[in-house]
Every structure is written in structure tokens, then in C-alpha cells.
Structure 1
Amino acid sequence: MTIREKLEEREKLFLSPYATLSCNSKGRLFFEEECSIRTRFQRDRDRIIHSKAFRRLKHKTQVFLAPEGDHYRTRLTHTLEVSQIARTIARALFLNEDLTEAIALGHDLGHTPFGHMGEDVLDEISKSYGLLGFSHAEQSLRIVDRLENNGKGLNLTYEVRMGILQHSKGQQDFRKCFGSRVCETLEAEVVRFSDVIAYLNHDLDDAIRAGVIREKDIPKKVLDVLGRTHRERINTMVQNLVANSINKDRLVFDSEILDAIEEMRAFLYEKLYVNPHVKSENDKVKLLLTGLFEYFMKNPQKLPQNLSEEENIIIKIRDFLAGMTDRYAIELYENVFIPKPWRFF
């Protein structure tokens, strides 16, 4: 018996009846021989961590665009925080921690430069050219299926791919969002909840650090129910979710906790996400990405040669723009549109 087979047997003995066993995976898009050491979901996790798209997350905006300071979150640190929270919950509920971690590490691979600002611009551009729109969740799936590994994709398992695709929640009341199970596996549902726990708490923490929000501005219900510190609020959410979800086929918060989480979300949208100071760069982001898109529409020969063999030039350019880091997009815009002084030697 191989090490992988021993790990698979241990899953059968140890994990919850609601967990997804790696040996029961629906498989990959293309056949591969099994690894003798790692389970299928462990291989997926490793492939995501070693991907170029994962490394680029370190220079992509979470909320604050190119913040001056070492302690503000980026899309990469957000991903790591989601992964840590999700693994804690999955372990406590005896779910498949490897599957949970793989989904968490891959869930935001398709995020654009400049965070949701960039996503909104690419969505607008896509619709103006008759496409259905742009979603970072769908782009994340496109990256692991078609764009990574020189166009070969990562050939991940079905469960990881669907978890990545189904993680997004949009801007809606969390009491409705979490009212029913959405994802195909409970591990994917854990990531979906953990994404919320992570971003609400670390965005509030960053906003306080930046002086955009003062601690005394936080709603009383949030402080009284969830806690008065960053640590307390995360712990309250995780503990409550675990306590209410043991031996169930879905995840559940107490209604009081969920009400406080929704109040926290509504507060952050009002004070942070649509704050004129934070969003002051929106018009510049739109100008930059729209300018680059139009430039490559007129000059497709200027596109890098290592892009996908996508026939639709609009999607090809969109893939290129979506994959950029913040700083690369800014540097490219400057190279294309900003005149440089003539140097005499």
C-alpha cells in the first residue's frame, strides 16, 4: 500500500460523513497517474502555490491601492488569512482540510489589478463589447483550467475547480447569502464563509490603521456581540460557526451573530468600500485599464507572445489585463502613454 493509499484510508476512518474523501473525487479534466505520496487534493494545493498567478497576488490590491506602509493587506495576505481560517474550521468539523486549503489558496487567482475597482472596469468593458461580463471567480477558474502552465492549465480536480468558481457572494445581505447551502462540497462552503470572516475583519483593521475609520465609529452591536478587538471578532465568528455546524450538512451561524456580521458588512460598505477618499482613485483606474485595452485593440501585435491562443481578441486582451499586478499595469501605462524626455549622450 502506498503512502497516498494509507492517507486515503485514514480519511475514511477519521473524517465526518459529510466530508469529501479524496479517493471519491470526480477526477480531473485530463487523466493523470496518481501520486504515490500525495492525495489528489494535496497535489492541487501544491500546484496552486507554485503557480505564477499565485505569486502575482502579492502585488494586487485588497482595498487600499498601493498603500504606504508594510502592514496593509494585499490580495496574497488576504488569501493566506482565508486559508488559515478555513483550515481551522475544516479541522474542527472533521472535513477534508486538504481540499479546503486548495480551494482557499486558489479562490482569488483571477482577481484583477486594483481590486474590485479593476474588476468593475473589466466588467464594463466586456459588456460594452457584447460579452456577458467579467467575474473574478470565473476568471480564477479560467486561470487554473486554461491560462496557467503555458496554456495547459493546472488540471485540478473537479471539487477544487467548483469550489473556486462558487466562492463569490457579491454585495448582498449576508443573512440571505448564507441562508442556504450554495457549494457542492461542504469544504467549499467553509471557504465561502471564511472569505467573509477574513475580509470583514482585516479590512476593518486596515481601515483603522489608515485612519479612515475610528474604533469609536464601530457599531455598538458589532462590539457587544462579536468583540472589541480584531482577535476577539474572528474568534467569535469561528467558534460560533463551528459550534452550530457540527454533524450538519451545511454551515450555520446563530441568528444574533449573523445579524451582527451583516451590520458589520453594511458599516464597512458605507464607511470604507464606497468612501470617497478610498475610492478617489477609481477614475484613474478606469482611465488606465480602458486606455490599455483600447491600445491593444488597435495594436494587437504588441501583446506578449506567451498569451493563450484565444481567438477572441477581446478575451485575450482581458486575460492579459486581469493577470497584471498593480505596479505592472501602472508601469505599462507609463511606457505606452507617458512621453519620456530625450537624453543626449
Structure 2
Amino acid sequence: MNVRTIIEDRELKALSRHAAFSSCSKGRNRPEELCRVRTVYQHDRDKILHSKSFRRLKHKTQVFLSPEGDHYRTRLTHTLEVAQIARTVARALALNEDLTEAIALGHDLGHTPFGHAGERVLNELMSQGFHHVRQSLRVVDMVEKSGAGLNLTWEVRDGIIKHSKGGGPLQADDPQAMPATLEGHLVRRCDMIAYVNHDLDDAQRAGVIALDQVPREILDLLGKTHGRRIDRMVRDMIDESLAAGGAHICQSAEVEAAILALRDWLYTHVYQARRVREEFDKASRILRELYQYFLADENALICFGGRRTPGDSLEISVGDFIAGMTDRFALNLYGKLFLPQSWKIL
């Protein structure tokens, strides 16, 4: 019995006509034998879940640098929250949950240690610049599995490369900048729903801000607790998308404006807060020195775990190595290379 074909047939009967059907995928860059029990999107989800890059997300900064408290988010917990929020909406809209989950799990694989501070350093140092979105696609295409890549489907790769909004709108003006599938659109929105809520929650926990500092009109509309805000945003997305016939992922104008206003408020009062910025300034110096050290010594790059990819410049290989580090690996390696070590008597 071929379980995969049974699932594919079930999708055709149960999912919305606007969903991305597993049996209609545009395929992979390299031909690959189909799994007998998993659809192509389920297979992609599992490839990402079992990758080294995914496991390293548990020790990469979300907002607060190498947090010692057990309840602060890391890049991994952020990814899991995005995946679960997105799956809830996908199920309600009868979209492909497996594709949604695969995109969500893979969307941040290219993030550097120390969050966006690390990204800014590499973007400054590398001649072709650096952005975590491009790096996420590079990780699944060329870095994972010792350079072989994960060989993901076109739809998952498209969702990964087009998930980021930066400081821009949820719906980009250029249609080419938006994902080709509704599942990709969904992850793009749920990424922001997750981080504006958990970053606000963590900032309160850290004492960086108090809830009463958040503009009252935002809290009155979205809610005064983490759970109420997510519920408001998710319900709004489901209701508005169903009202639009399920052909678009959308939210009401007032909720979307409040989400963007909360994002902008967090940027000023949390991400750029003095206490947060001072630690990231220190982290930036660490990554800058590590980058320059390995760029000047290719043998050291290989010795400490980096890899030279045929056809790539040394700076790209160093960029891959630095971007793939966890916070604690970067801190420990910096200490080993640049700080005096105690004498040991054998």
C-alpha cells in the first residue's frame, strides 16, 4: 500500500481549491525518489526538523543575548511558535498544513548568533552583503549535509526566501516579493504575530519595559495579555480571509495597523533600548574579530569546523561559518582565540 498517494488523494478532496496540493508540487532541484508514506511537504518538514541548523536554533538569540532565565525565547522557540500559529490558521482555512509547517520550521535557519546584531556585522563586512533570508535559503540549498543541501521542494524554498518583511508592510507592493502559495503568505504574517507578542512578553519579563508603557490604543484593540493578543490576531486573520473567499490571506485594516504599530513601538523601546543595545554592541565586536581572524587564516577556518565550498570565495565560507554559530559557540571560541588561558599542569 502506498500511503503517500492516499494522503495526496485525501488532500484533493478535503483542502481548499486555493491550497497547495502535495501532488502538484513543482518538485525539487534534483530528482529524488518519492517516499511511500510521506508527501513531499511532509518529507521536507522532516528534513528540516532533523537538520543540524535547526537544532542549533535553540542556542541562538531571539532578542535577549544568551538568556540565563529558562523562560526567555530563543530562535528555536520562536520558530515553533510561528509553526503552531500558522498551522492553526492553515487548518481553519483548509490549506496545506504540512507545507505551512515546513516553511515555518525553515524560515529562520540562516539567522546569525546574537540575533540581528550578528546580521548587521556580516552585512557590513561581506562585500556582497548578508541577509538572514538569503542565508536561510543558502543553508537548505548548499550548506546542510556537508554541502549537499536538503533538496527541498520549490514551494518550501519560495516560502522561506519570501517570508521576511523587515520594516515594511505585511503585504508587499511588488507581487514578486510575495510568496507564490497562500501557505507562504500565512507564514509571513504569523512570523510577525509570533514575534511582536513574545518579544513584548520577554521584554516585560526582563524589566526592559512595563506593559503600561505600550500605547493604550494598541492594547485596547489587541488585548492586554499574550494569549488575548494572539487570539485576537489569529481570529481576525481567519475571519477576514474566509470573508474574502479564502483566496487571500488578509486581516482587517485596524488589526493590521495595530500589529505594525506594535512592531514599530518595540523597535524603538525594546530592540533599541540601551540595556539591550549595549550587550549587542559587545557581541558585534566578537563576531567582527572572529570574521577577520578566519578571513586571514583559511587553515584555522577548517581546523575549527568551517568548510570551503568549491566555487565560493573565502569570505563566503567564513560567512557561512560565522552565521552557523550559536551564541555560546561564538563566545567560547572567542575566549579560546583571544583571551589568555590558564596554565594547566599535566
Same fold (TM over 0.5): yes
TM-score bucket (shorter structure): over 0.9
1:100–1:191 contact (8 Å) kept in structure 2: yes
Distance 2:277 2:155 in 1: 36
Q: How does 1:1-345 map to 2 (within 5 A)?
A: 2-126=2-126, 130-131=127-128, 133-174=129-170, 177=172, 182-246=178-242, 247-304=245-302, 307-310=307-310, 311-345=312-346
Encode CA deviations 1:84-135: one digit per residue, 9 max, x unaligned.
0000011100000000000000000000000001001100011xxx32x111
Secondary structure of the structure 2 residue equivalent to 1:81? helix
Question: 1:215: Cα distance to partner?
Answer: 1.3
Distance 1:253 1:66 in 2: 35
* Deviation >3 Å, runs of 4+: 176-181
Secondary structure of the structure 1 residue equivalent to 2:147? coil
Moved more, 14-23 or 334-343: 334-343
1:151–1:308 contact (8 Å) kept in structure 2: no
Distance 2:344 2:152 in 1: 50
2:308–2:314 contact (8 Å) kept in structure 1: no
TM-score normalized by the length of structure 2: 0.95
Secondary structure of the structure 1 residue equivalent to 2:146? coil
Cα–Cα, structure 1 residues 178 and 258, in superposed 2: closer, same or farther, change >3 Å? farther
Distance 1:118 1:260 in 2: 29
Distance 2:30 2:308 in 1: 19
Question: 1:343: Cα distance to partner?
Answer: 3.3
User: What RMSD over aligned residues (CA atoms) do the two structures have, in Å?
Assistant: 1.5
2:95–2:183 contact (8 Å) kept in structure 1: yes
- One-letter code aligned to 2:280: N
1:4–1:38 contact (8 Å) kept in structure 2: yes
Distance 2:194 2:46 in 1: 22
2:61–2:75 contact (8 Å) kept in structure 1: yes
Gaps of 5+ in 2: none
1:103–1:163 contact (8 Å) kept in structure 2: yes
Question: 1:228: Cα distance to partner?
Answer: 1.3
Encode CA deviations 1:211-254: one digit per residue, 9 max, x unaligned.
11101112111111111111000000000001010223221111
Question: 1:282: Cα distance to partner?
Answer: 2.6
Gaps of 5+ in 1: none
Distance 1:204 1:277 in 2: 15
1:150–1:306 contact (8 Å) kept in structure 2: no
Question: 1:78: Cα distance to partner?
Answer: 0.2
Identity percentage over the alignment?
Answer: 53
Number of aligned residue pairs: give it: 340
2:209–2:270 contact (8 Å) kept in structure 1: yes
1:117–1:285 contact (8 Å) kept in structure 2: yes
Distance 1:272 1:177 in 2: 25
1:47–1:154 contact (8 Å) kept in structure 2: yes
Distance 1:274 1:320 in 2: 27
